[in-house]
Amino acid sequence: MNRKYEHKHAYFVGGGLASLAGAVYLIRDCAFPGKNIHILEGMPILGGSNDGAGNAEDGFVCRGGRMLNEETYENMWELLSSIPSLEQEGVSVLEEILAFDHAHPTHANARLINKDGEVLDVTSMGFDNADRMALAKLMITPEEKLDNLRISDWFANTPHFFETNFWYMWQTTFAFQKWSSLFEFKRYMNRMIFEFSRIQTLEGVTRSPYNQYESVILPMKAYLDGCGVDFTLKYTVTDLDFEAGEDITVTAIHYRQDGAEGVIKLDRGDLCFVTNGCMTDNAALGDLHTPAGMIAENPISGDLWAKIAAKKNGLGNPKPFFGNAEETNWESFTVTCRGDKLLKMIEKYSRNKPGSGALMTFKDSNWLMSIVVAAQPHFKNQPPDTTIFWGYGLYTGKEGNYVKKPMRECTGGEILTELLHHLHFAEEIDAIMDTVVNVIPCMMPYIVAQFQPRAMSDRPQVVPEGSTNLAMISQFVEIPEDMVFTEEYSVRAARIAVYTLLGVNKKICPVTPYRYDIRVLLKALNTSFR
C-alpha cells in the first residue's frame, strides 16, 4: 500500500468493465488500498454490458456478445495478463482466452444468406469504382470536417455502396446503421483496416471460453475481492455536487437505495470515476410467450450525465446520444434447447461447428437478422444435454417476412419462428419447438447510442480540463483514434483516467497504427477490387 493514499478513497459510479479495470489499475499500478475503493452499482449484478445469466430450466440469456480482437485490444490484453484464471492455476485470463481462441479458430462459411436460403459467395466486396473512390476519400478526410455527419451523407451520391457485400458484412459485424456517425465509421475503417481483407470469414474474432461475464468479469471481481475492494454499496447514483470555482472538483455523490435518498461526502484527495453513459440501460427482457417491450425514456446514466454537464463546462453533451431511441435500438434473443437437434441442423446448413462460424446474416430479412452459435457450453452451469445460441435484429420496427409483426412486438417464440423460416427449416418447426426451453428476447433502446452523429465536443475528455478528482469512463468519452463499442475502449478509458488523476508515469498502450502498415493497406486494396 502507498501510504500517501492511506486515507484517500476512490468511488466508481457504475459496476461495468471500465470501473473494474480502473480498480485494478489503482491497486496494481498505484498501490492504492483496495479497501478504500468503492464500486457503486444500482443493479444486483456487476459487469455492465458484459453479461450472461440463466439456467437450464428457465433458459439462458446473453444481451449481446462483445467481440474481442487479438490485434487491437492492446490495453485489455495487458490488463488481463495480470488477472489469474479462476479455473487454471498459474494461468492468466489472457493466456486462458488466447489458448481457447487458438484452439477454436473462426472461419465463417455462411456469412451472408439470401431469401432463398442460399449461402452467398462473399469473396467479392461488390464495390464499383465510385464506391472505392468514396471510401478512399473518407480515409484521408480529417475528422474535423465530419461533425454531425451520417454515413448516408457521405455516400449520398453512391447509394450502390449500401447494396455491397461489404456493407452488409461490416454493418452487421459492428452494428452500424446508415444513419450512424461518419466519425465512428471512419475510425473503425482506420482501426480495423486489417479486418477489411477477412471480413467475409471473421477470422479476426477472438473467442473466450465462456460468455464474457464468466470469462472476464468474474475473474476481475475475484481479483478485486482478494484485494479488499468494497462492493457493498448498492447505490443508484443520481447527481454529483461540485466545489464552486472554475476547477472541476466533486464534493459529494447523491444516490438512491431502496427508495431512500443519501449522500456520500468526498474529502480532499478523494477520487470520483463516472460511467457517464451505459449502452444497455433500459434493457427489457421477454420470454417464449412474451415480447420484451421497449423502455424509451431517458436512461439513468444519461440523466446523470445531463445533470453534471449542466453544472460544469467541459463535461460533454448527452443529447445527441440519448435523444432518439428509434435510431439507437436493436433487439437480441437467446435460444435455449434440450439436446442439439437445432444446432446440428444449423451446423449442417452452415458447414460450421459451434464456435467456428461467427455471424450468419440473413441479408433479405426485414429485421436484418443475424445469429451466432458459440462453442458449447457457453455457460459454466450449462448441462451437457442443453444447447444455446443467440442472435439479433437491427430493424426492430419493421414487420417480419414471415411473422407479420414488428420484431419489438414479437414473443421469443415468434422471433424463433421467423428465424426458422429464414433458415428454410419450416417443415421441422414443430419438432424443433418441442426441444425449446425458452427464447428470451432483449430490447436495448440505446445499444448503439455511442454511434449517433455528433460534434467532436459532445464527448467529454476522460479527465476534463480543470478536473482535480473527476474522470469519465465509458463508451461516451473521447479517446483520439480509438473506436467505441469495444471492450478495449472501456479499459483504455479506465487506464487513462487512473494514470492522469494520480500522475502515474507509465505507458498506456497506444492505438496500433495498422493503417500505416503497407502490407495491411495492400491487402485491403486488393480486397476492394475483388
Give residue-wise pLDDT tens across range 348-367: 999 999 999 889 999 999 99
C-alpha–C-alpha distance, residues 165 and 464, integer Å: 41
pLDDT band at 3 (very low <50, low <70, confident <90, very high): confident
Which pLDDT score is estimated for 204?
87
Q: Give the angle 515-519-520 at the CA atoms, nearest 5°.
A: 40
pLDDT band at 198 (very low <50, low <70, confident <90, very high): confident
pLDDT: which is higher, 203 or 26 = 26
Averaged pLDDT for residues 61-89: 92
Strand, coil or helix: 502: helix
Choice among 188, 210, 213, 499 that is catalytic: 188
Q: Read off the DSSP letter of residue 43.
A: S
C-alpha–C-alpha distance, residues 415 and 401, integer Å: 11
Strand, coil or helix: 458: helix
The residue whose grid cell reads 461490416 is 170
Give the Cβ contact number of residue 222 at 10 Å.
14
Cβ contact 112:119 at 8 Å? yes
Which residue type sits at 89?
E
The residue whose grid cell reads 466545489 is 243
Which pLDDT score is estimated for 193?
86
Cβ contact 461:498 at 8 Å? no
Which pLDDT score is estimated for 238?
96
Whether 188 is a known active-site residue: answer: yes
pLDDT: which is higher, 385 or 232 = 385
**Region for residue 14 given its phi and psi (left: phi exceeds 0; alpha: psi -120 to 50; beta: otherwise):** left
The residue whose grid cell reads 494520480 is 502
What is the share, in percent, of the chain residues with pLDDT greater than 90?
86
Q: Residue 518: is its pLDDT beyond 80?
A: no
pLDDT band at 1 (very low <50, low <70, confident <90, very high): low
Is 3.40.630.10 the CATH number for 10-54+65-96+210-285+293-321+455-502? no
Q: Read off the DSSP letter of residue 406.
A: B
pTM confidence score: 0.96
C-alpha–C-alpha distance, residues 486 and 68, integer Å: 8
Cβ contact 146:182 at 8 Å? yes
pLDDT band at 66 (very low <50, low <70, confident <90, very high): confident
* Alpha-carbon separation of residue 456 from 308, 460, 471, 479, 500 (angstroms): 19, 9, 18, 11, 21
Q: Residue 528: is its pLDDT beyond 90?
A: no
The DSSP H or E segment spanning 99 is helix 93-103
Averaged pLDDT for residues 392-404: 98
Q: Residue 406: is its pLDDT beyond 90?
A: yes
Count of residues making up the chain: 530
Cβ contact 355:387 at 8 Å? no
Q: Give the pLDDT confidence of 235-285 residue by residue, as tens digits.
A: 999 999 999 999 999 999 999 999 899 999 999 999 999 999 999 999 999
Which pLDDT score is estimated for 514?
77
Q: Single out the residue of 241, 266, 263 nearest to residue 9, CA to CA.
A: 266
The residue whose grid cell reads 493503417 is 515
Which pLDDT score is estimated for 386?
98
The residue whose grid cell reads 453533451 is 317
* Pairing verdict, β 10-13 and 271-274: parallel
* Pairing verdict, β 271-274 and 470-472: parallel
The residues near 149 (Cβ < 8 Å, ≥ 6 apart) are 181, 182, 183, 453
Q: Give the pLDDT confidence of 497-513 residue by residue, as tens digits.
A: 999 999 999 999 999 88
Q: Residue 190: is its pLDDT beyond 70?
A: yes
Cβ contact 379:459 at 8 Å? no
Averaged pLDDT for residues 323-352: 97
Averaged pLDDT for residues 479-498: 96
Give the Cβ contact number of residue 315 at 10 Å.
24
Cβ contact 73:488 at 8 Å? yes
pLDDT band at 323 (very low <50, low <70, confident <90, very high): confident
* Alpha-carbon separation of residue 48 from 102, 173, 282, 287 (angstroms): 27, 21, 12, 21
End-to-end Cα distance, the chain? 58
Q: Residue 524: is its pLDDT beyond 90?
A: no
Averaged pLDDT for residues 15-41: 97
Which pLDDT score is estimated for 297?
87
What is the share, in percent, of the chain residues with pLDDT greater than 70?
100
The residues near 27 (Cβ < 8 Å, ≥ 6 apart) are 34, 37, 224, 227, 229
Cis peptide before 377 (omega within 30 of 0): yes
C-alpha–C-alpha distance, residues 237 and 293, integer Å: 25
Q: Give the pLDDT confidence of 452-475 residue by residue, as tens digits.
A: 999 989 999 999 999 999 999 999
C-alpha–C-alpha distance, residues 22 and 12, integer Å: 8
pLDDT band at 59 (very low <50, low <70, confident <90, very high): very high
Averaged pLDDT for residues 389-417: 98
Q: Residue 197: is its pLDDT beyond 70?
A: yes
